[in-house]
Copies of this chain bind each other. A is one copy, B any other.
């Protein structure tokens, strides 16, 4: 007799969901690593795993918060600068019970206040700490909000394609419907409002109630940065169609061009004024995992709610309470992120040196990678305007597609597996993010150390060009 936790008896939504970032490619890479092969894990935006050093200042503060007994140690000044000691005392004073006590389920009130102040400085409009909830990474916040929205499979969520699979996986898990809208690869992965309209009409004709729209800005995996004009269109579109907008802005500090600096959906909404600015429902997400922090393992995130009524906020609070409290060290990291050292602070110069160093290097790496891909046979790649990824299109020859079919693999999975075996480069096939029928991509992060970039690109080029050589027959390519 089959048992309750046998595969056939599991919740179908659990079985249905897909999560490519840690999918077949990642599992194979982990196996190869166990067998002793050197793997370059560019499957996930995980900077410290690829050697990025943590910023010194926040780590000093958090170390002191974890060891509050050091604050009375006469030798503490020998290893910790005075401003880190002051900051640690400050954050401990905001908690009741230090890092070992559950906080309020929404997060430590004082940290939420610091985030509200940051948002106000960034956007020029006040923000209410009561509408900011801290979470164990932005992922958990996204899941919580989608859980509040999705009532069943008739509820649709507009998600960009290609998209970060957190969205597709969570929508499956919650039993909702993903309504795709395609980003335009030929327009540097821009968001075209005409595509959006079509997606919504099509979903409606299938009986789906479209309830929310997700934007990822800067984009993952595409790296595009949305313009103010584009954001305005999106907001208007959501307003006309009665959608709540979920603004995934976790890469807001990762910008590698100067024409379109980051602008938050919330600022654009407030700038618009009028009824829309008082009515449109918006939830914005941020994290300590990205930017020049890259503190992924700490799991610190938040979401800010705009125009969400108090009764709903209460319900979201109640659900957050079930798991008691987001981790408190991650909350302190958020406080530090929105409140970095200021000019005149002892740690200021070092902090600026470290953070600038990381950002400038990321910008150079984005360029090296784009150029590298574009020098390869049958590969075309948009420039990474922001975020941490490169998403080249791989024009697979028909013979390669046939070979993949024979091997029982999706064509881009086939390509990426061969790349992994040949070079140790662990990427994610485009099919994990969604792409147009018959078009193939892969995603890689731009995170390997700068000095490792040229050899990685050389190794990629060698593999790719040989692969193309092997499968190309000059009869044609997969279409763009």
Q: Which A residues form the contact surface with B (CB < 8 A)?
A: 1, 3-7, 9-12, 14-15, 17-19, 21-22, 30, 44, 46-51, 54, 56, 59-60, 62-64, 66-70, 73, 75-76, 78-79, 95-105, 136-137, 139-140, 143, 147-151, 165-166, 169-170, 173, 211-212, 242-244, 279, 281, 283, 289, 294-299, 307-309, 311-312, 315, 318-319, 321-330
A297 and B101 contact, CB distance less than 8 A: yes
29 contacts across the A-B interface (CB closer than 8 A):
A1-B242, A3-B242, A3-B281, A6-B309, A6-B311, A7-B315, A9-B211, A10-B151, A11-B149, A14-B148, A17-B318, A19-B319, A21-B324, A44-B324, A46-B101, A51-B97, A59-B66, A60-B67, A66-B329, A75-B79, A76-B79, A102-B289, A102-B297, A136-B323, A139-B322, A166-B323, A297-B325, A299-B325, A327-B329
B322 and A19 contact, CB distance less than 8 A: yes
Contacts of A54 in B (CB 8 A): 68, 98-100
A10 and B315 contact, CB distance less than 8 A: yes
A97 and B321 contact, CB distance less than 8 A: no
A315 and B15 contact, CB distance less than 8 A: yes
Contacts of A101 in B (CB 8 A): 46-49, 296-297
Q: How far is the CB of A243 from chain B (nearest CB, A)?
A: 6
Q: How far is the CB of A369 from chain B (nearest CB, A)?
A: 20
Q: How far is the CB of A186 from chain B (nearest CB, A)?
A: 31
B297 and A147 contact, CB distance less than 8 A: no
Residue of B nearest to A100 (CB): B48
Contacts of A48 in B (CB 8 A): 97-98, 100-101
Excluding A4-B211, A63-B67, A298-B328, 5 further A-B contacts by CB distance (< 8 Å) are A11-B149, A14-B148, A19-B321, A137-B323, A327-B329
Contacts of A79 in B (CB 8 A): 70, 73, 75-76, 78-79
Contacts of A62 in B (CB 8 A): 66-67
Contacts of A1 in B (CB 8 A): 242
Q: How far is the CB of A287 from chain B (nearest CB, A)?
A: 11
Residue of B nearest to A149 (CB): B4
A321 contact from B21, B60, B63, Cβ within 8 A: B21
Q: How far is the CB of A275 from chain B (nearest CB, A)?
A: 12
B75 and A322 contact, CB distance less than 8 A: no
Residue of B nearest to A333 (CB): B100
A322/B169 contact (C-beta < 8 A), A147-B14, A244-B3, A297-B100 known = yes
B151 and A49 contact, CB distance less than 8 A: no
Contacts of A7 in B (CB 8 A): 309, 311-312, 315
Q: How far is the CB of A354 from chain B (nearest CB, A)?
A: 11
User: Cα distance A187–B256 when bound, in Å?
Assistant: 68
B56 and A309 contact, CB distance less than 8 A: no
B5 and A309 contact, CB distance less than 8 A: yes
Contacts of A97 in B (CB 8 A): 46, 48-51, 297
Q: How far is the CB of A20 from chain B (nearest CB, A)?
A: 10
Q: How far is the CB of A342 from chain B (nearest CB, A)?
A: 22
B59 and A323 contact, CB distance less than 8 A: no
Contacts of A318 in B (CB 8 A): 14, 17-19, 22
Contacts of A95 in B (CB 8 A): 297
Contacts of A140 in B (CB 8 A): 323
B298 and A99 contact, CB distance less than 8 A: yes
Contacts of A319 in B (CB 8 A): 14, 17, 19, 173
Contacts of A73 in B (CB 8 A): 79
A243 and B4 contact, CB distance less than 8 A: yes
A5 contact from B18, B47, B148, B289, Cβ within 8 A: B148
User: Cα distance A430–B198 when bound, in Å?
Assistant: 54
Contacts of A244 in B (CB 8 A): 3-5
A296 and B325 contact, CB distance less than 8 A: yes
Q: How far is the CB of A10 from chain B (nearest CB, A)?
A: 5
Residue of B nearest to A62 (CB): B66
User: Cα distance A173–B98 when bound, in Å?
Assistant: 31
A322/B148 contact (C-beta < 8 A), A66-B59, A242-B4, A294-B100 known = no
